[in-house]
């Protein structure tokens, strides 16, 4: 998680300044129903009034790509970087790709310069990565990981032969190995078989002919369990990327060029309130540190692989401004309730830290940014606590714990007038603290 927020901010900056052909359309409701969608599409079809210049070398709707990524595993902090004895990794990936076309009449596709959506499978060969955390007569070998993922690739410049793009993606990974105290006690990177996957990167594509292209770039990928189990430092991969892509013949440019773009769904600018309720789960960093480093090796809990899962709950009240079809930004008041405060107090007390303060309630203020594509939205928040008392580790472990970051993916349901369902991962100093399921509802002002 340590590099993820930096990458997301970089991606947002590229999005803001990248070239795009934004269509200036009529203003409609913030979150139209399916009936309103039909009425908008009908009225726009009868009176088309907007024209755009289309890309010269747009990929066809369907295609595929295969890629190779020889790279390194990077430790998320100074301790894990010291444990890495070997850090080589190699990944292969295959993707089925879909690119919307101008004749679809999708203004989001136009705004994003006709992006590509992918479903992919990645296999990471990690037997070249070895760790030595404590004095043992062996090194722990990081397990291979198989990952199923979805990806969004947004071109920010293209001509007849070249295309430059950034991408982000997420998915689920299955690790062949995880931490255990028998033969994987050095592996503090991966603590569970199933893990959340995140990727981001930059690519350059050269079109050889109408169907085949070669591509190169740089890829960052991350596996961790979102604090749903311990250990959870996570695995970060940084790799060069090379590959080949196949896209069959695209729509004929002379037929679609300079035709009006229909608008089946649109959104108006303005302020709105967004209320969100979240319920999540986590294991405790304090529990991990206590059983790994603070108790006697004779204690049966020493180097345990069993950790209790605790609940956490949140309420967000955000004031946002929708200043473009793609983006909304604003401020959020965040209230948290954590039912594990008493457990943290118990761990602090038995270690002689009886002066520490503990409360299940926390309050924070955050900058919030949302990125939209149709019914989907990605959300990023960066905040600071104005009230939080979570004991010793919250003030001293793994970076400044008064800062927090939220990253999530949501889908709004037309029949519920914009109510959205999704998930967030909340992190401290870019290290996951808990994962939550969230329902949110917008109210236009």
* pLDDT of the residue at 101: 86
The DSSP string of 5-51 is HHHHHHHHHHHHHS-----------SS--HHHHHHHHHHHHHS---B
**Is the preceding peptide bond at 257 cis, omega within 30 degrees of 0?**
no
Tokens coding 244? 């080949």
C-beta separation of 83 from 44 below 8 A: no
Per the document, the length of the chain is 445
* b/e map 206-228, b = 16+ CB within 10 Å: ebeeeeebebebebbbbbbbbbb
CA distance linking residue 399 with residue 428, whole number of Å: 8
Beta carbons of 310 and 272 less than 8 angstroms apart: no
Q: 3-state secondary structure string, 249-309?
A: CCCCHHHHCCCECCCCCCCCCEEEEEEEEEEEEECCHHHHHHHHHHCCCCCCCCCCCCCCC
The answer to whether residue 294 scores a pLDDT higher than 50 is yes
Cα–Cα distance between 111 and 23 in angstroms, integer?
A: 7
Reduced 3-state DSSP string for 44-66: HHHCCCCECCCCCCCCCCEEEEE
pLDDT (0 to 100) of residue 103: 79
- Alpha helix segments (H runs only) across 64-113: 78-83, 107-111
Contact status, residue 144 vs residue 156, Cβ threshold 8 Å: no
pLDDT category of residue 26 using cuts at 50, 70 and 90? very low
pLDDT bucket at 198, cuts 50 / 70 / 90? very high
Interacting residues of 152 by C-beta distance below 8 A, sequence separation 6+ = 115, 116, 117, 118, 167, 168, 169, 373
Q: Report the C-alpha gap between 408 and 380 in whole angstroms.
A: 7
Q: For residues 166 and 13, what is the distance between their CA atoms, to the nearest angstrom?
A: 11
The confidence score (pLDDT) of residue 55 equals 61
DSSP state of 192: S
What average pLDDT does the chain have?
84
Using CB atoms within 10 A of its CB, is residue 437 exposed (0-12), middle (13-18) or buried (19+)? middle
pLDDT > 90 in the chain, percent: 58
Task: Mark residue 302 as left, alpha or beta (left: phi above 0; alpha: psi -120 to 50; beta: remaining).
Answer: beta
Between these two residues, 92 and 16, which has the higher pLDDT value? 92
Beta bridge partners, 241, equal: 217
Give me the residues paired with residue 170 across strands.
Answer: 150, 198
Does residue 259 come out as left (phi exceeding 0), alpha (psi in the -120 to 50 range) or beta? beta
Give strand pairing partners of 439. 277, 421
Mean pLDDT, to the nearest integer, of 180-203? 91
CB atoms within 10 A of CB 384: 13
d(CA 194, CA 38): 42
Q: How confident is the model at residue 399 (pLDDT cuts 50, 70, 90)?
A: low
Token code pair at residue 391: 């004991």
Q: For residue 112, what are its two tokens?
A: 């994003």
- Closest of 11, 316, 253 to residue 154, by C-alpha: 11
CA separation for the pair 33, 39 (Å, rounded): 10
Averaged pLDDT for residues 151-166: 93
Distance of alpha carbon 175 from alpha carbon 191, whole angstroms? 10
Distance CA(425)–CA(5), nearest Å, equals 11
**Looking at the predicted structure, is the pLDDT value of residue 171 above 70?**
yes
252 or 219, higher pLDDT: 219
CA 215 – CA 124 distance, rounded (Å): 20
Instruction: Please give the average per-residue pLDDT across 366-380, as a whole number.
Output: 95
pLDDT at position 430, please?
74
Integer Cα distance of 418 and 249 in angstroms: 37
* Predicted TM-score of the model (pTM): 0.83
Q: Where are the alpha helices (DSSP H) in 300-351?
A: 341-350
Three-state secondary-structure class, residue 395: helix
pLDDT digits (tens, 9 = 90+) for 33-66: 445 444 444 443 333 334 445 566 678 889 999 9
Give the alpha-carbon dihedral of 145, 149, 152, 155, to 10 degrees.
40
Position 7 pLDDT exceeds 60 = no
């Amino acid at each position: 998680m340590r590099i993820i927020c930096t990458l997301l901010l970089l991606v947002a900056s590229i999005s803001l300044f990248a070239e795009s052909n934004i269509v200036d359309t009529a203003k409609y409701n913030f979150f139209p129903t399916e009936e309103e969608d039909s009425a908008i599409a009908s009225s726009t079809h009868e009176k088309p009034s907007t024209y755009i210049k289309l890309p010269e070398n747009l990929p066809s709707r369907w295609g595929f790509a295969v890629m190779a990524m020889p790279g390194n595993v990077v430790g998320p902090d100074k301790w894990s970087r010291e444990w890495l004895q070997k850090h080589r990794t190699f990944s292969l990936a295959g993707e089925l790709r879909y690119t919307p076309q101008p004749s679809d009449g999708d203004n989001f596709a136009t705004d994003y310069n006709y992006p590509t959506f992918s479903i992919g499978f990645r296999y990471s060969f990690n037997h070249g990565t070895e760790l030595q955390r404590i004095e043992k007569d062996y090194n722990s070998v990081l397990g291979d990981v198989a990952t199923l993922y979805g990806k969004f690739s947004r071109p920010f410049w293209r001509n007849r032969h070249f295309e430059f793009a950034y991408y982000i993606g997420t998915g689920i990974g299955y690790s062949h190995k995880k931490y255990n105290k028998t033969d994987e006690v050095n592996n503090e990177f991966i603590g569970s078989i199933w893990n959340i996957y995140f990727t981001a990167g930059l690519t350059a594509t050269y079109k050889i002919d109408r169907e085949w292209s070669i591509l190169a770039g740089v890829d960052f990928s991350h596996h961790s369990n979102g604090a749903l189990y311990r250990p959870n430092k996570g695995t970060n991969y940084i790799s060069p990327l090379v590959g080949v892509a196949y896209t069959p013949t695209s729509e004929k440019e002379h037929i679609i060029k300079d035709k009006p773009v229909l608008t089946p769904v649109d959104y108006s600018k303005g302020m709105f309130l967004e209320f969100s309720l979240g319920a999540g789960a986590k294991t405790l960093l304090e529990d991990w540190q206590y059983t790994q480093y603070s108790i006697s090796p004779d204690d049966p809990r020493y180097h345990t692989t069993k950790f209790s899962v605790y609940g956490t709950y949140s309420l967000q009240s955000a004031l946002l401004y929708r200043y473009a079809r793609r983006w909304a930004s604003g401020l959020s008041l965040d209230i948290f309730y954590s039912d594990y405060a008493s457990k943290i107090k118990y761990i602090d007390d038995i270690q002689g830290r009886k002066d520490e303060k503990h409360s299940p309630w926390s309050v924070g203020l955050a900058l919030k940014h949302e990125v939209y594509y149709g019914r989907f939205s990605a959300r990023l928040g960066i905040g600071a606590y104005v009230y939080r008392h979570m004991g010793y580790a919250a003030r001293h472990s793994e970076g400044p714990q008064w800062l927090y970051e939220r990253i999530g993916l949501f889908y709004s349901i037309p029949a519920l007038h914009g109510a959205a369902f999704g998930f967030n991962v909340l992190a401290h100093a870019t290290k996951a603290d808990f994962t939550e399921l969230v329902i949110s509802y917008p109210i236009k002002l």
